[in-house]
Amino acid sequence: MRTISGAFRSIKRPNVNPNLSKSSPPTASTSHLNFNSEPKSESWCVYLILSTNHPIKTYVGVTTNFPRRLKQHNGKLKGGAKASRAGRPWICACLICGFADRSEACVFESKWKDFSRKSPRKSQGGSSSKQIEDPSRPLLQHRQAALNRVKGSLDCSHLEINWHLDPS
């Protein structure tokens, strides 16, 4: 991928830390978030995040660095998606790791979003007190049902799917 500074030599990127050379490996201490199955910096993952502000909603994305990406969605770092600004703060609901490359992760992400849009949502009109107490439950169940359809349409045997919030 070509960067702007590579295409236009007059644009210089500031070196945030002059003590680090370009070949220095990134340090693990840059993230205070700790996920049981945190992906390696070079592996692609697909994630589902859940807003904690009303109205409760979900967002599916793809990244190589989920802790950094979550900080972006929450406005702590620049670069968060415009669509996720209204739901801040966001928390991790599901993290799927093990994609071979960006293309594979993007195909998975696209199918998950597509199946989520096409699947009918279950009515929330029941008298269940659990749905009243936890408005995120129907959203997570809907995303889980769509994820199950993706798993039925793609080979996902090499993927590690970690739910951080219980959708059931």
Task: Note the pLDDT tens digit of each residue in 61-87.
Answer: 999 999 999 999 999 999 888 889 889
Is residue 140 situated within a structural domain?
yes
The count of structural domains within the chain is 1
Which residues, other chains included, contact 109 with Cβ-Cβ below 8 Å and sequence gap of 6+?
A: 46, 60, 61, 62
Is residue 61 situated within a structural domain?
yes
Is residue 70 situated within a structural domain?
yes
| C-alpha span between 70 and 80 (Å, rounded) | 8
pLDDT surpasses 90 at 110: yes
Is residue 21 situated within a structural domain?
no
| C-alpha span between 49 and 59 (Å, rounded) | 5
Question: Which position has the token pair 């007059």?
Answer: 10
Is residue 43 situated within a structural domain?
yes
DSSP result, 11-29: -----S-TTS-TTPPPPGG
Is residue 108 situated within a structural domain?
yes
Q: Cα Rg for the chain, rounded, in angstroms? A: 18
Q: Which domain holds residue 99?
A: 34-119+132-163
| C-alpha span between 132 and 151 (Å, rounded) | 30
Is residue 142 situated within a structural domain?
yes
Q: Residue 9 — very low, low, confident or very high, per pLDDT cuts 50/70/90?
A: very low
Is residue 103 situated within a structural domain?
yes
Closest among 7, 62, 36, 85 to 76, alpha carbons compared:
85
Q: Is this structure's pTM higher than 0.75?
A: no
Decide which of 119 and 46 is more confident: 46
Going from the C-alpha of 30 to that of each of 27, 118, 125, 145, 163, the distances in angstroms are 6, 39, 45, 34, 24
